[in-house]
Amino acid sequence: MKAPVARKIPHTITTHGQSLTDEYHWLRDEHWQKMVAGDLDFKNPEVFEYLKAECAYKEHQMADYQPVKEKLYGEILSRIKEDYQSWPVKKGEFLYYYREEKGKNYPILCRRQASMSAPEMVYLDVNQEADDKDLYMFGPSVTNRANTFLAYGYNLTGSMERTIRVRNLETGLDCSWSFPNSTGSILWIDNDHLLVVERDDQARGKHVYRVNIHQGPEHKELLFSKPDEFDAMFLSLGETTDREYLLVYLDSGGSQMVYLSPRANIYFQLFAHGTDDVVFHLDHYQSDFYILTNLNGANNFQLYKTPANQWNQWQLLQKESDTISLTDIHFYNHYLIIEQKNNDKALDELVIRDMNTGQQRIVAMPDAAYELDFSGDWDHNATTVRLDYSSPIMPATVLELDLPTVQTRKVYTRETPSFDPTRYVVKREYATARDGEQIPVTIIHQKALVQDGSHPAFIYGYGSYGYGMTAGFSSKLFSLVDRGFVYATAHIRGGDEKGYSWYLNGKMRRKMNTFYDFIDVTEFLIAQGYTAQKCVAINGGSAGGLLMGVVTNLRPELFGCVVADVPFVDVINTISDASLPLTPPEWEEWGNPLTSADDFNYILSYSPYDNVQATDYPPMLFNSGISDEQVTYWEPTKMVARLRALKTDNNLLLLNMNMHAGHAGASKRYEWIDEEAFNYAFVLKCFGMEQ
């Protein structure tokens, strides 16, 4: 079967005196917004036919590895306990948890009163809600303080839109109304009133409404509207740990605004406005606000406080450190919990400060590389809080942290069948970047592995928006590790693994650091004997898909296989199109090619779609979803079309377009496993590994 060949229809745009011709612009269907909403009504039938042809070609090319995929599916599934019950979370007098049952794709939400020996109450079975639906994205979900009602959201297309409903937890019935076109940001004001953020035309959030759950949105009350001059910013809700204050955040790639209101009498006022990458994290304790911020160039952040009745009297409490980056704060009882990053180790840490004595202690962690999430407690007066913890070879674990003693106690570890952690080694090494920076690399391999350069490697990377890649547990990757792969996560610039400066040094005009770091990590692993050139599979999604496109254009001979998930590859066209919902906020992350010729030229220099060459490329797989409004379907579609036209090799090039999914991919548990098995089967096929 021959690969589909897309027609070339020249479409030329001129920016800053430079003309770019896009021969595959026509693959962007005029009805794309209908597709985001789940209606596959193509204006141009030829686009639909081309996508179907790509899907058929993908199935044909992978048919010989169907048995391998099925074996991988079975392996991944074997490391998942299909009948599973989560560790409960105490909310008032109720214990909340969820169950997963063998053969079912979605969780079953349950609670018990006072004790886990009490009768179980199923308050929402997501399987029933998702019945007969191709896709059902569940969440968010949050109960009111009286534990009488649940507010929850869902989406049926894969877009970012959420429809909000409220369920009576005593009767199990939903209120008669629904609130469509929400961002999914919701917050209970009291037991009978809910704050809901309504989307604008660009999906960023515009209005905050108060909804009386007994009356519904027909009588909604507008409490806040985003000022028109901040139209490009995303709107979300929050609250202080003691619940005394409500928060409205406006965020974009480099700016943030924080509005505050007392809960008792809602009136939002501007608390802080940060520009040029200045951000704020705040909480309330007794009569003061405490603020973490990188104001005045303190990119490792400093801690301030100011009286709640006089917001402009900021007092510096903790100066910026050279090696520690402060990331968040929470108050429980009379303890201040500081989340921070150890920039040298690229690891999250917790510090507990007794506000009565001033004593401050760090919480010890059991592993050299790990993932740590602070979950806290329902009650802000609690002296014991929950931490969610894992490491590359320790499955999801719940730790209870006793604040007075700063000691942790393991209360639960998720059972992972068919997995023996003693068979593997986890390392944290550091690759030297071409400019001398030390790039952390988390490495997993079998204990018996010899670093002789004979092993395949799988390297994962992201490196954008300040989203750090943590060293957490993922059972799926052991299907590769057990076959002799070295699995590595490259903690490259653009993430925040080594603090906020690590992020800033991988954005805007420093974006090339992200791509060079990934290449330098790859060459480090080769030099250290972990793998060899062309024996390296690489993977990244969304902005990590951009990473895949750039590094493959720069060094196509280095890699043996590329898997790009929902990849942001048509950068210059997307960032130049202000009509797309996510484009204006992105200008503060990447630059604005419409107003700056320098930004235009810099982005153009790495934009994967615009830098495809007439050269040999490694085998490549592009995964996407037709309803994706974050990285629209035509980006990977066009990329594949241009690669087919220009590349000079016969290596495998596939477009895997999910016609019932968006940015997050499949929502069903077993479909997700199938997607992972397909990706790994592709990798094995590229390396000629049949088992």
Report how far residue 377's alpha carbon sits from residue 330's, in angstroms, rounded to the nearest whole number: 11
Is 482 part of the annotated catalytic residue set? no
What pLDDT does 659 receive? 84
Strand partners, 308: none
What pLDDT does 322 receive? 93
| Residues composing the chain | 691
Give the residue ranges of the chain where pLDDT is below 70.
Answer: none
From the list 255, 390, 391, 542, the catalytic residue is: 542
Phi, psi torsion values for 592, nearest 5 degrees = -110, 100
What pLDDT does 690 receive? 84
The 10s digit of each residue's pLDDT in 157-177 is: 988 899 999 999 999 999 999
Side by side, the strands of the sheet bearing 315-318 are: 280-285, 288-293, 302-307, 315-318
Is 474 part of the annotated catalytic residue set? no
Report how far residue 73's alpha carbon sits from residue 673's, in angstroms, rounded to the nearest whole number: 6
Q: Are strands 457-460 and 438-446 parallel, antiparallel or unpaired?
A: unpaired
Task: Take residue 73 and report the two structure tokens written for it.
Answer: 């599916």
From the list 251, 445, 663, 667, the catalytic residue is: 663
What pLDDT does 109 receive? 98
Report how far residue 85's alpha carbon sits from residue 79's, in angstroms, rounded to the nearest whole number: 15
What pLDDT does 667 receive? 80
Report how far residue 642's alpha carbon sits from residue 60's, in angstroms, rounded to the nearest whole number: 21
pTM of the shown model: 0.94
Q: CA 488 → CA 344, 419, 442, 445, 491, distances in Å?
A: 19, 19, 5, 9, 10
Is 628 part of the annotated catalytic residue set? yes
SS3 readout for 408-457? EEEEEECCCCCCCHHHEEEEEEEEECCCCCEEEEEEEEECCCCCCCCCCE
What pLDDT does 212 receive? 98
By the 10 Å C-beta count (0-12 exposed, 13-18 middle, 19+ buried), 103 is classed as: exposed
SS3 readout for 254-319? CCEEEEEEECCCCCCEEEEEECCCCCEEEEEECCEEEEEECHHHCCCCEEEEEECCCCCCCEEEEC
| CB 659 within 8 Å of CB 626 | yes
What pLDDT does 582 receive? 76
Report how far residue 564's alpha carbon sits from residue 637's, in angstroms, rounded to the nearest whole number: 12
From the list 277, 565, 570, 628, the catalytic residue is: 628
Domains observed in the chain: 12-77+419-686 (3.40.50.1820)
By the 10 Å C-beta count (0-12 exposed, 13-18 middle, 19+ buried), 595 is classed as: exposed
What pLDDT does 665 receive? 73
Task: Take residue 161 and report the two structure tokens written for it.
Answer: 């839109």
